[in-house]
Amino acid sequence: MSNPSRPEWPVPVSIAPDILAEIQAEFAREWLLMTESLQQGNLAPPADRRFGSKAWAASPASLLAAHTYLLSAKAMSQMVDALQVSEPVRNRLRFSTMQWIEAVAPSNFMASNPDVQQALLESEGQSLRKGLDNLFKDLQKGRLSQTDESKFELGKNVATTAGSVVYQNQVMQLIQYAPVTDKVHKIPLLLVPPSINKYYILDLQPENSFVRHAVEQGFTVFLVSWRNPLASDIDGIDQATWADYLQHGVLQAIDAVCSISRQKQINALGFCVGGTLLASALSLAHAQGKDPVCSLTLLTTLLDFEETGVLDVFVDEYQVQAREHQLGTGGLMSARELATTFSFLRPNELVWNYVVANYLKGESPPAFDLLHWNADGTNLPGPFFAWYFRNTYLENNLKVPGRVQVDGYQLDLSTLSMPAYIYSSREDHIVPWHSAYASNNILRGPIRFILGASGHIAGVINPPAKKRRCYWAQEASAGHDEMPGNPESWLANADEHAGSWWPDWCNWLVAHSGSLVRAPAKPGNARYTPIEDAPGSYVKQRAQ
C-alpha cells in the first residue's frame, strides 16, 4: 500500500478537454432520449430498486427526477474518474462523491418520493407519526436501527450452542462447547473471531450457527470471546496492546486448549481480524520455539495489506498520527465510530435504506439476527487500534519478515508451514478476495484456497441446509509454489460448486483432526474449571 502524506488543499485538478467533451456529449444524448421517452409516455422506471415501485412508475415527474438523478450521478462519477490527479486523491474524491450522490437521491426526501407520499395518504398521517417516533428513539440510542433488536437475547435465541467458559483473563473468555456426538475427533479446534465484533456471528441461531455445525460434525470446539472494554473500566484494559492480544488472548487460549485436550498441537481458525491475530500469534509462538497448531484456517483474512479496497480512503500518515495522538497511550476506539465507518462504505444499503423505511415511511425494521449482531459492537483499546492501524493498513509491516517485533521477538509469517485452508468471498468490500488470495504468497505449507459467493459476512455464514450461493475450488490442496501468482488465473481453472463451502472445509479438517475418541464427559480439567455457561458474560457487555 502506498503511504501518502496528507494532501495539500486545494489540489489542482483538471480533465482532458476531449474526455470532458465525451462526457458532456453522452449526457446530452441520454438526456434527449429520456425526455423523448417522457413525452411519448413510455419512460420506464430505472433499473434501481429505490425507484422500482408502482408509485414511481405512476408519476411522470418522479420518474423524470429519478432518471435525472441517475444520469447526473453517472456523469459526476465519470468526471471524477477522468480527473488528472494521483490515485490516492482520486480514491478519496470517488468516496466523497459517492457519499454525496447517495445522500441526495430523490428517494431520501418526502417531497420527491412518491412511495412515502402514498404511505402518508393511505395511513392518514400515521406513517409520519410513527416515523418521527422511530427517529426520536434512534436519537436516544445514538444510532440508526437496522433491525428489531428486542427480538433477540443472547443465550436464548442467538449464541445458544451449549458450552462452558473454562478460562478468562483481562482480554478474553475461552468457551468450550459441549459435544453432541458420542465420539469426537482427537485434535480439537479453536476459533478466533475478530476482536472488533462480538463472537456470535459464528453462533447466531441454531440453523445458521457455524459453531453448532462444527460440533455436529464431531469436532471439539473452543472459541475466544473477546472482552468489550468500557470507559468505566478501571483495570487498565484501555491500555491493552497488540502484544497483549497475542500473548494473553490467542496464545493463552491455545495453551488452555492444549492442556484440556491433552494434545501438543491443535487446529485453529481465524475470522477477519481474528485471522490476522491468529497468524501473528503463531509467528510469535514459532519465534519462541513453539509449534502448537497443526492446521490453520483463515476466513476473509488479510495478511498482506497492499490492497485493501475502499478502506484505503481512511488511511494516510496524517490520519494514523491523529489516532496515535488520541489513543496511542490509552482510551477507547468506540464501537459506534467503527460501526458508522463500516456502514458508510455502503451507504445506500446500510444507511439511507433505513432512513427512508424507518423515518419517512414509519415502518418498523424486521427482526434479523445478523443485523442484530451488527448493531452489537465492540470497543477497542486505543493502543491496540493505533498499532494495528499503522502496522497493517498504513505500512503493511506484518508481511515483511522481522519488521514487527513483539516483546523482543521478531515476527515472520513465512515460518507458518502448517496446512492452511484459506476462504475469501468474491464480493467482499472489506477484505477484497484478491488480497485474501495474497496470503498464498506468505504462508509456506500446502494450501487449499476457496472462493465463496456473496460478501464479507453472508459468504461466510452460509449453512448447507439452506442450499444457497456457491463457491469455487480446485480439486486438491496445492503446495505454496504451485499456487498461481495471479488470483484470476486460479479462478479460471477452478470449478464452481453449488451451495455452502462448509462441507468442503469439514472434509479438509477431518484429515487434520486425528482419530475418533470418546467425547469428553465434562468441560475443562483440573486446571481450567468451568466458570459459567456459554455464551459467558463478556459477550453480553454492551458498548456504551
**Does residue 5 surpass a pLDDT of 80?**
no
In the chain, what are the helix, strand and coil shares in percent, each to the nearest 5?
45, 15, 40
C-alpha–C-alpha distance, residues 380 and 390, integer Å = 15
- Selected catalytic residue, list 272, 294, 470, 506: 272
In 306-410, the DSSP E strands lie at: 332-333, 380-381, 405-406, 409-410
Query: Residue with C-alpha cell 498441537?
Result: 265
Q: How many CA atoms lie within 13 A of 220 on its CB side?
A: 28
- Say if residue 278's pLDDT is above 70: yes
E strand map for 259-381: 266-271, 293-299, 332-333, 380-381
pLDDT band at 477 (very low <50, low <70, confident <90, very high): confident
> Is the pLDDT at 532 greater than 90, yes or no?
yes
Decide if pLDDT at 498 tops 50.
yes
DSSP, res 538: G
Q: Which residue type is seen at 57?
A: A
Range 248-274 average pLDDT:
98
pLDDT at 2 over 60: no
Work out the percent of the chain whose per-residue pLDDT is above 70.
Answer: 97
By the 10 Å C-beta count (0-12 exposed, 13-18 middle, 19+ buried), 376 is classed as buried
Q: Which residue has the cell 486425528?
A: 514
In a 10 Å sphere around its CB, with 0-12 CB exposed, 13-18 middle and 19+ buried, how is residue 259 labelled? middle
Give the confidence band of 66 by pLDDT, cuts at 50, 70, 90: very high
Greater pLDDT, 501 or 312: 501
Helix (H, G, I), strand (E, B) or coil at 155: coil
| Mean pLDDT of the chain, nearest integer | 94
Residue 495: its H or E element: strand 495-498
pLDDT greater than 70 at residue 311: yes
pLDDT at 10: 56
- The structure's pTM equals 0.93
Is it true that the peptide bond before 4 is cis, omega within 30 degrees of 0? no
Angle CA 256–252–202, to nearest 5: 80
Distance CA 489, CA 412 (A): 27
**What grid cell was written down for 281?**
500469534
How far, in Å, CA of 154 to CA of 156, rounded? 5
Q: What is the pLDDT of residues 115-154, one digit of tens each?
A: 999 999 999 999 999 999 999 999 998 889 999 988 999 9
Q: Could you tell me which of 455, 539, 515, 533 has the C-alpha nearest to residue 185? A: 515
Q: Is 506 a catalytic residue?
A: no
pLDDT at 449: 96
In sequence order, the 6+-apart residues with CB closer than 8 A to the CB of 531 are: 164, 165, 166, 167, 168, 173
